[in-house]
Amino acid sequence: MYTKILLCCLVAYAAAQQDSLEGPPQPYSFSYDNTDEFGTHLSQQETGDENNNKVGSYSYTDPNGVTRTVKYTADADGFHVVVETNEPGTKTSNPADAQYIANPIEVAPAPAAAVVAKPVAAVKPVVLQAATPVVHAAPFTVQAAPISYATAHHVTPITVATQPIALAHAPLTYTLGRAKSA
């Protein structure tokens, strides 16, 4: 038993000694700037250095002029962000060490549309009468009838336009594993 435990510990130690396939952080820089057919503008830029520090920003501007710009840094001191926006209803604040700088734009309320009641034409009731008399089904009784195996699998010929058609059940086969090749 002692040798099995020693062997498991040796295997675990050897597995823990594998080198990481990731190399040191590589400096990089990327950015994009896009405006769609509706006038929405999106952009982002970010740089990273050999110490895995990140500095960047991204922004959004909608066709109505509402903007939001986020500037961020991520380094050994943590993640720090500054949000600049003119979105209506926002206020300058500093929640969770994230600085929000707000210059909200004034949005004028939409003018109320005048509601004019239109006269409604009087509707005459329509009386419908059945074209054919109502027919009720005749009462019937349900009785149990014994069904044998031969009756359940009986082939019944059907004649349609003087051409006999034979109907029968189609057997289904199931396999557990690979399907048999023909």
Condensed to tens digits (0 to 9), the pLDDT of residues 126-141 reads 777 766 666 666 666 6
Cα–Cα dist 101/121, whole Å: 58
Q: Does some domain include residue 61?
A: yes
Q: Does some domain include residue 130?
A: no
* Contact (Cβ atoms closer than 8 angstroms) between residue 48 and residue 65: no
Q: Does some domain include residue 73?
A: yes
For position 31, what pLDDT does the model report? 95
What is the mean predicted confidence (pLDDT) over 9-38?
83
Q: Does some domain include residue 39?
A: yes
Which of 75-79, 81-85, 99-103 comes out lowest in average pLDDT?
A: 99-103
User: Is the pLDDT score of 70 beyond 90?
Assistant: yes
For position 58, what pLDDT does the model report? 95
113 vs 41, residue with greater confidence? 41
Cα–Cα dist 69/100, whole Å: 10
Name the pTM for this structure.
0.48
Q: Does some domain include residue 60?
A: yes
Within 8 A by CB and 6+ apart from 95, the residues are: none
Q: Does some domain include residue 56?
A: yes
Domain that holds residue 30: 23-102
Residue type, 117: A
Domain count, the chain: 1
Q: Does some domain include residue 83?
A: yes
